[in-house]
């Protein structure tokens, strides 16, 4: 019994160990499946967020492009902030260069600078120039005596500001020598003549002598321009007086004023250059003068085009009447185009990005076209009307219920001077949809009159009137022969109704009304000579005393 009990205990222990082994194996398999399941079953894994690229460093001094770097240097030089201006100069590694002192010396040397800072590249990469390595730009030259030193800008990598443009170390190294050479020069005649009181004070960066010279140069430039024009036209004036020929020089025409302005601006720019103002002031002032010069050149070209259009209009009026309206509209379109060209040139000279503006102009033009549909409709209607040659200036026409003479044809509307001398403005878009009568192109005008003779008129009187009126129409020089006629149109009521058809040989409305009046008066004389009269509106009333129906006669008629 004891052996049986021990045997049972051994089995139960073995069963417990087997059960524990199964549990351990199950846990091991479960962990293995859990570990290897991501590799076997595809799951959507969210990629880690990309690292944000660091923003490009911003240079507080604006040295990202060659133009902005040079203009910034000039700005601080003009303000005499040499500590900040020194940051536009490239230091030399391993040498203790006093850049502040170099900036002070450069300020005086800039009066000898030859170049146009406003025309430098505004691209951060700069431009490729012959003789220079990539990353270098020639901004101009400093000329002292017979020595010329190029002002070179170089692109460097600054740890705080990134890629910036600085005055190259080679140029900085040559500044002391140029400065010493300039100081060793003898003073000019102007500096010896001008009092020290006018050169010692510098309000707004200019000496009093420079301010005075700038103010005086404006009237002097204008007087010299007028004097130059007078001297150039003197030979033609003498020739005209000797030959006694009527002739106008170009200075006496509408071209004279814009031409004088162009010469005056060029002379004034020369005087300002000789005054040697600070380079920054000179740069911006020359931009202003360049804008004025561009405007005057466009003004001159516009006046020249106007003269050409006037000659073409006069020739068209004499040779092919009716085409002058198209020329006038083309002239106005030319004015608009020239104005746009002048504005684009002025904006480019003042440093604006014209390419971006033109790109935006296309989008803005589309928006403008959508918002100004009526205006575009009028413009298109006006162009189509001119191309069809439906109306011309000076035509007498009827628009709606208004009669008048066309005074002007524009791109948006036409102007009609009515008979009561009021000005009627009709949009071209509306006119293109209306039916209007143009009396201008007519070579002849129709006289269509109806008149009546009294019912008491005898036949011989009626024939007399018809024959005499027809004879009068045939003999009238202002009436077209072969097409005029007079006929009895109706015989009803209390009158004979006659109808007259005749063409007056004129297209002018005023002459036509005079011809029509003469014909009507002669018809009245013929009627009076025939012994009859024109019929007036009448109404006939008949009075009768008729008896009623006779009953006996009515019965006899029924029986019959």
* Tens digits of residue pLDDT in 145-191: 888 888 899 998 888 888 899 999 889 888 888 888 888 877 766 66
Q: Which of 158-167, 346-355, 357-366 has the highest mean pLDDT?
A: 158-167
DSSP 460-485: HHHHHHHHHHHHHHHH-TTB-TTS-E
Contact by Cβ (8 Å): 410, 403: no
CA 31 to chain centre: 80
Contact by Cβ (8 Å): 313, 328: yes
In this prediction, residue 10 has a pLDDT band, given cuts at 50, 70 and 90, of very low
H or E element at residue 296: helix 279-319
Q: Which of the two residues, 36 and 530, has the higher pLDDT score? A: 530
Side-by-side strand order, sheet with 147-158: 113-114, 136-144, 147-158, 162-167
The phi, psi pair for 427, rounded to 5°, reads -60, 145
Q: Which of 218, 192, 196 is nearest to 208 (CA)?
A: 196
- At residue 393, the pLDDT reads 76
Q: Which of the two residues, 112 and 537, has the higher pLDDT score? A: 112
| pLDDT, averaged across the chain | 76
Paired strand residues for 157: 163
Which residues have C-beta within 8 Å of that of residue 324, sequence separation ≥ 6? 313, 316, 317, 392, 393
CA–CA gap between residue 101 and residue 82 (Å, rounded): 8
- At residue 438, the pLDDT reads 77
- At residue 122, the pLDDT reads 80
Which residues have C-beta within 8 Å of that of residue 170, sequence separation ≥ 6? 152
DSSP 104-137: HHHHHHGGGEES-GGGS--STT----TTS-TTEE
* Tens digits of residue pLDDT in 387-433: 556 677 777 888 877 888 888 777 677 888 888 888 888 887 777 67
Bin 141: left if φ > 0, else alpha if -120 < ψ < 50, else beta.
beta
* Tens digits of residue pLDDT in 43-67: 444 455 555 555 667 888 888 888 8
| Domain regions of the chain by residue span | 66-185, 373-438, 445-529
Q: Which of 77, 145, 113, 72 is nearest to 276 (CA)?
A: 113
Contact by Cβ (8 Å): 249, 236: yes
Q: Give the tokens for residue 278.
A: 């600070």
In the chain, what percentage of residues exceed pLDDT 70?
70
Domains 373-438 and 445-529 share a fold: no
Q: Is 248 exposed, middle or buried (CB count within 10 Å of its CB: 0-12, 13-18, 19+)? A: exposed
Q: Mean per-residue pLDDT for 520-540?
A: 84
The CATH number fitting domain 445-529, selected from 3.40.50.150, 3.40.605.10, 3.40.50.11740, 3.30.70.100: 3.30.70.100
- At residue 380, the pLDDT reads 61
CA–CA gap between residue 185 and residue 176 (Å, rounded): 15
Instruction: Report how far apart, in Å, the C-alpha atoms of 509 and of each of 323, 419, 446, 518 are.
Output: 21, 12, 11, 14
* Tens digits of residue pLDDT in 104-149: 888 888 888 888 787 788 888 888 888 888 888 888 888 888 888 8
Q: Which of 153, 159, 103 is nearest to 124 (CA)?
A: 153
Instruction: Indicate yes or no: pTM above 0.85.
Output: no
Q: Does domain 373-438 have CATH number 3.20.20.10?
A: no
């Amino acid at each position: 019994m004891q052996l049986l009990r021990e045997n049972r205990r051994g089995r139960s222990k073995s069963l417990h160990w087997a059960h524990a082994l199964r549990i351990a194996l199950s846990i091991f398999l479960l962990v293995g499946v859990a570990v290897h399941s991501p590799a076997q079953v595809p799951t959507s894994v969210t990629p880690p967020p990309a690292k944000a690229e660091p923003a490009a460093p911003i240079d507080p001094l604006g040295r990202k492009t060659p133009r902005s770097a040079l203009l910034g240097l000039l700005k601080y030089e003009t303000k005499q902030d040499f500590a900040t201006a020194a940051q536009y100069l490239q230091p030399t590694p391993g040498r203790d260069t006093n850049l502040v002192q170099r900036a002070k010396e450069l300020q005086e040397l800039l009066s000898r600078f030859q170049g146009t800072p406003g025309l430098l590249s505004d691209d951060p990469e700069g431009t490729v120039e012959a003789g220079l390595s990539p990353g270098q730009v020639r901004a101009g030259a400093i000329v002292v005596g017979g020595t010329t030193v190029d002002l070179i800008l170089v692109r460097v990598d600054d740890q705080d500001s990134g890629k910036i443009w600085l005055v190259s170390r080679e140029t900085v190294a040559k500044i002391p020598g140029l400065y010493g050479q300039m100081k060793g020069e003898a003073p000019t005649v102007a500096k010896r003549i001008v009092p020290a009181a006018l050169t010692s004070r510098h309000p707004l960066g200019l000496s009093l002598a420079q301010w005075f010279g700038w103010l005086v140069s404006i009237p002097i430039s204008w007087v010299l321009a007028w004097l130059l024009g007078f001297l150039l036209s003197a030979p033609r004036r003498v020739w005209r007086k000797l030959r006694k020929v009527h002739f106008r020089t170009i200075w006496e025409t509408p071209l004279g004023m814009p031409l004088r302005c162009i010469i005056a601006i060029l002379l004034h720019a020369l005087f300002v250059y000789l005054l040697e103002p600070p380079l920054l002031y000179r740069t911006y002032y020359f931009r202003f003068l360049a804008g004025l010069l561009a405007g005057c050149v466009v003004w001159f070209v516009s006046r020249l085009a106007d003269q050409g259009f006037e000659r073409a209009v006069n020739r068209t009026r004499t040779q092919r009447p009716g085409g002058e309206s198209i020329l006038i509209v083309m002239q106005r379109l030319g004015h608009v185009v020239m104005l746009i060209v002048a504005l684009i040139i002025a904006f480019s000279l003042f440093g604006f990005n014209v390419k971006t503006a033109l790109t935006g102009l296309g989008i803005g033009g589309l928006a403008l076209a959508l918002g100004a549909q009526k205006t575009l409709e009028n413009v298109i209607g006006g162009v189509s009307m001119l191309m069809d040659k439906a109306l011309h200036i000076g035509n007498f026409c009827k628009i709606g219920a208004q009669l008048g003479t066309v005074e002007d044809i524009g791109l948006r509307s036409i102007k009609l001077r009515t008979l009561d001398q009021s000005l009627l403005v009709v949009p071209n878009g509306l006119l293109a949809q209306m039916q209007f009568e143009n009396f201008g192109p007519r070579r002849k005008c129709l006289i269509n009159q109806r008149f009546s003779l009294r019912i008491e008129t005898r036949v011989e009187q009626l024939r007399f009137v018809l024959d005499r009126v027809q004879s009068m129409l045939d003999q009238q020089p202002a009436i077209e022969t072969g097409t005029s006629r007079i006929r009895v149109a109706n015989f009803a009521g209390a009158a004979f109704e006659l109808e007259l058809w005749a063409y007056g040989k004129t297209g002018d409305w005023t002459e036509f009304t005079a011809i029509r009046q003469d014909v009507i008066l002669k018809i009245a004389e013929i009627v009076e000579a025939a012994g009859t009269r024109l019929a007036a509106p009448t109404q006939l009333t008949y009075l009768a005393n008729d008896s009623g129906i006779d009953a006996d006669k009515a019965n006899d008629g029924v029986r019959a």
